[in-house]
Chain A
């Protein structure tokens, strides 16, 4: 039984989490994540959700509580954002290394300084390396669906890794959209109770979190990578399985939009994808062969699907809402690393777009397409990324000094 409602993105996420029957939730406030854990707290206060809800004193402890609970065999959930995610970083490395399969909503927000509550992807991109599966969503509906998939992905016995569902702060968490929900019985059938093979149990005592050295540490790390590789196939299967229940197909690891004959392919993730799709529709009417790859799963990095979808493209424009200081955007780097030894590979242009909430609107997307086309036609790749909408006058006046 499916129900459709207009509600806030955060509320939709909370309803998805509730439907997944978590046993332990940890909560610490940070904008723009807070509405999610507040909604869950209300459900518990009203007796609609039976769950241990731990009100911690820091994000460090928020991540630690779900780690401990997960090790003890409970389905666990938390949420955070920006500085909070960075504070969790050390914990998340250890939890991925110990194969603790909790789910977190990572509400994307830029990272200080300057302090801001506006959106970009710097926070979760800074967490790309520990062994966390990272899903990105375009809409509240996709956020709802992806959370239900996330628990199943995390808890797969051959994966057993934390999953972050990354959603843009404000644009998704605080806007009201129409969202359809599947019935509880459908969720139960899709997502059975969490029954890990190993958990902290006095009847079967085991030692967790050992000290390792040069004889075995590399193998631990390689096994996480192997699980990530396996997860690519499994995530596609889980997305398809859920799509059959919901009747909504958001795609697999990526969604290829109008890429078949595209000369220029944009690659992006998060909420800017919706605006890009609309812009592409308009450019297509003008006869421009433009397409888009939406990254739904950023880690593991689905390069096989991406390479397949950009085969015919002359130029690929990557929109990175993050930046590695002194280098370039993360997604651009990932893609170029996989393309560099392939003959006939398209030119990749890295665009830095949307930092700190800087609007990525239709005009700016048209600018990106135009710039990418110019580079493609010149055949001369740019050495440096192109910063979309950058106000150089402010820089010259001393901003940031």
Chain B
């Protein structure tokens, strides 16, 4: 069944919510729930998703959904998982869908505790690389040299001088059975990973790169294209780790330089107007190259120079 056919099925995350036009997160959430089915309870910590999906009296959620506070998505989920176990409700599962602020930063302690305890929770981070709900402040997930409102590019600054936290690796180091990264630019891949994660028990983690037109600064029809460019540049590697080992990577079939990804985004615009900016781009390219090397994102060496026909989804 292809993606367009599946649009016709009963949706579990329906229209009418208040996300921005072209929100990569809203699209991802819709497909997360297509993949999980309706036997899930969703926990969402404070953030964009909570705000745009829950104005009192309205709800796009057709599964039980709970928001509590910002820091405690994992431990609310642990409590629900414990309750389901205590009540023998074996058919119901718990997932968290939280932003990068909740996941990388303020809820990180709670997340680590939940992982260490081995609670049966799928934690999905919809990562847009900054605190978008409050207008785009720097988070531990903000990429190197991105301009955010609390770490802005200026006459004496190139924006964020630190790399994005490698959270999937930190999570994998807890010894959890399943870790993956995904992108709404590759929806079939995203749904497959959610489905696979649901086959495992215990703590699992999926990090989805969700482009944000409003704060990244691109036109709202470009969401999937920006997501795809991120993947093709090597800056957003898509992979799976099972029991601590990388078990699959999505190969880049049409590699691009990082400038092609950075240039359409306002958050990186400052890099294109100075020599220091150009040096910064070279550093970002080095990060992409590291990813390509580390995960083996390109085709095998013997195929390296061979023309490959990209699949429809990769176009």
| Residue in chain B with minimal CB distance to A216 | B56
Are A65 and B75 in contact (CB-based, < 8 A)? yes
| Closest-CB distance, B73 to chain A (whole angstroms) | 9
Are B65 and A205 in contact (CB-based, < 8 A)? yes
| Closest-CB distance, A98 to chain B (whole angstroms) | 7
Are A57 and B109 in contact (CB-based, < 8 A)? yes
Are B69 and A90 in contact (CB-based, < 8 A)? yes
What 1/0 flags go to A355-395 for Cβ under 8 Å of B? 00000000000000000000000000000000000000000
What count of chain A residues pass the 8 Å CB interface test? 43
Are B86 and A67 in contact (CB-based, < 8 A)? no
Are B75 and A61 in contact (CB-based, < 8 A)? yes
| Residue in chain A with minimal CB distance to B40 | A202
| Residue in chain B with minimal CB distance to A22 | B86
Majority-rule SS of B interface residues: mixed
Residues of B within 8 A of A207 (CB): 54, 59, 61, 64-66
| Residue in chain B with minimal CB distance to A55 | B117
- The yes or no answer to B225 lying at the interface (CB within 8 A) is no
12 further contact pairs, Cβ within 8 A, besides A73-B83, A212-B55: A51-B86, A55-B117, A57-B109, A57-B112, A61-B72, A61-B110, A68-B43, A68-B83, A205-B65, A208-B64, A208-B67, A211-B67
Q: Once the chains are docked, how many angstroms separate the CA of A208 from the CA of B112? A: 25
Are A60 and B72 in contact (CB-based, < 8 A)? yes
Residues of B within 8 A of A208 (CB): 64-67
- The yes or no answer to B87 lying at the interface (CB within 8 A) is yes
What 1/0 flags go to A239-265 for Cβ under 8 Å of B? 000000000000000000000000000
- The yes or no answer to B62 lying at the interface (CB within 8 A) is yes
A-B contact pairs, 6 of them (CB 8 A): A24-B86, A54-B78, A57-B116, A70-B83, A91-B68, A210-B56
**Inter-chain contact total with CB atoms closer than 8 Å:** 163
| Residue in chain B with minimal CB distance to A74 | B83
Are A74 and B87 in contact (CB-based, < 8 A)? yes
- The yes or no answer to A326 lying at the interface (CB within 8 A) is no
Name A's B-contacting residues (CB within 8 A). Answer: 23-24, 26, 51-52, 54-58, 60-61, 64-74, 76, 90-91, 94-95, 98, 200-202, 204-213, 216
Contact of B92 among A58, A94, A202 (CB under 8 A): A202
Residues of B within 8 A of A66 (CB): 79
Are A65 and B78 in contact (CB-based, < 8 A)? yes
Are B67 and A56 in contact (CB-based, < 8 A)? no
| Residue in chain A with minimal CB distance to B86 | A23
Are A65 and B79 in contact (CB-based, < 8 A)? yes
| Residue in chain A with minimal CB distance to B55 | A211
What 1/0 flags go to B19-41 for Cβ under 8 Å of A? 00000000000000000001111
| Closest-CB distance, A382 to chain B (whole angstroms) | 41
| Residue in chain B with minimal CB distance to A211 | B54
Q: Once the chains are docked, how many angstroms separate the CA of A52 from the CA of B89? A: 13
Are B83 and A24 in contact (CB-based, < 8 A)? yes
Are B69 and A205 in contact (CB-based, < 8 A)? no
- The yes or no answer to B71 lying at the interface (CB within 8 A) is yes
| Closest-CB distance, B39 to chain A (whole angstroms) | 5
Residues of B within 8 A of A200 (CB): 41, 64, 66, 80
- The yes or no answer to B165 lying at the interface (CB within 8 A) is no
